[in-house]
Amino acid sequence: MTRTETLDPERVLDLATKALGEGQPSLKTPYEAVALIGHTCMVAVGFRLVGLGEDHNLASSTDSPALPAEWNTNDTFAFRYAHEQSSMQYLLKVSRLGGNVVINALALGDDRTSSFDLPVKDYISGSAVPLPATENIAGALQDVFISSARLNDLIGLFKINVIQKLAPGLYKEGYEDTNRHIRPEAEPRHDPLREDFPQPARPYPFNDPLAAGPRMPNPPDFAPPGFEDEFEIHRPPRGYPQGLGGGRSPYNIGDRDLYPAGMAPHDPLRGVHGPWLWGWGWYASHL
């Protein structure tokens, strides 16, 4: 299947070969090779070169990708373009920063900018430059790039970071703006740390005033507030083990109900008697 994309690596390489032309200065550095690909990407989608820099103007501008002889006389490579679909002009600058190359682009007229950088060694084979003098410029130029896949990646970076950002409405046969097919970002997932979860289900009616409340442990047997225990009725017996209910055994809860009011099994004046025996004796004496 024949590839017909405008920014196909083979087509871009063909335009790069024509941009150098015969008698032009050959590529001397890897940075020039990156600038050359940037220029040919712009030409491939219909931009035409009108000057080298913001203030420089060519004597004439055509759709030809050919570069003027002075395009690489400086360490910073600047290209200014026009396009038939726009009244603005576009500036592309490629400069060296250590082992990286920095690409800056500007749409003159609305100050729309874009920039990115990349490590040159990831795309350019340093041993292939300077480009040797040869009649097979296309073959020598192809060897400048580490591989066809790496060249394709480099073209993709110029497409995404320069062409699509500065000219998002550009139309060119064989050119596809991938931004138009990006699906909208999915809604963020719920953050369990920031979201109030619904209360767990409860039986209806959940506020029934007639419903029995939660079962509570038996309250300790203690005297009412303000009650003065003059006869030490609530005082635990001597030697009695401390347990639940303020020192009383949980098994004796309610035993005072067996005695008449004011009487108790632990009366210090009568001695200690069993609740059943003492109770029956009292009732027998009052029959």
> In angstroms, rounded to a whole number, what is the distance separating the alpha carbons of residues 213 and 197?
26
96 to 10, 58, 117, 120, 126: CA distances (angstroms): 26, 24, 9, 9, 15
Could you tell me what percent of the chain has a pLDDT over 90? 38
CB atoms within 10 A of CB 19: 20
pLDDT digits (tens, 9 = 90+) for 90-149: 999 999 999 999 999 999 988 789 999 999 999 999 899 988 777 788 888 999 999 999
**Cβ atoms within 10 A of the Cβ of 253, count?**
15
pLDDT of the residue at 213: 52
Q: Is 208 exposed, middle or buried (0-12, 13-18, 19+ CB in 10 A)?
A: exposed
Which structural domains are found in the chain, ordered by start? Answer: 9-177 (3.40.1000.30), 223-287 (no CATH)
Query: What is the spatial distance between Cα 131 and Cα 129, in angstroms, rounded to a whole number?
Result: 5
Does pLDDT of 258 surpass 90? no
Predicted TM-score (pTM) of the model is 0.61
Confidence of residue 3 (pLDDT cuts 50, 70, 90): very low
The reported pLDDT for the residue numbered 186 is 39
Which residue in 54, 84, 52 sits closest to 66, CA to CA? 52
Q: Bin 113: left if φ > 0, else alpha if -120 < ψ < 50, else beta.
A: beta
Contact 113, 104 (CB under 8 A): yes
Over the range 191-204, which residues count as b (16 or more CB within 10 Å of their CB) and which as e?
eeeeeeeeeeeeee
Q: What is the pLDDT of residues 65-95, one digit of tens each?
A: 899 988 998 889 999 999 999 889 999 999 9
pLDDT digits (tens, 9 = 90+) for 6-55: 999 999 999 999 998 765 557 899 999 999 999 999 999 999 999 998 88
H runs (alpha helix) in 104-202: 137-142, 148-158, 164-166
What's the CA angle centered on 19, arms 14 and 24, to 5 degrees? Answer: 125
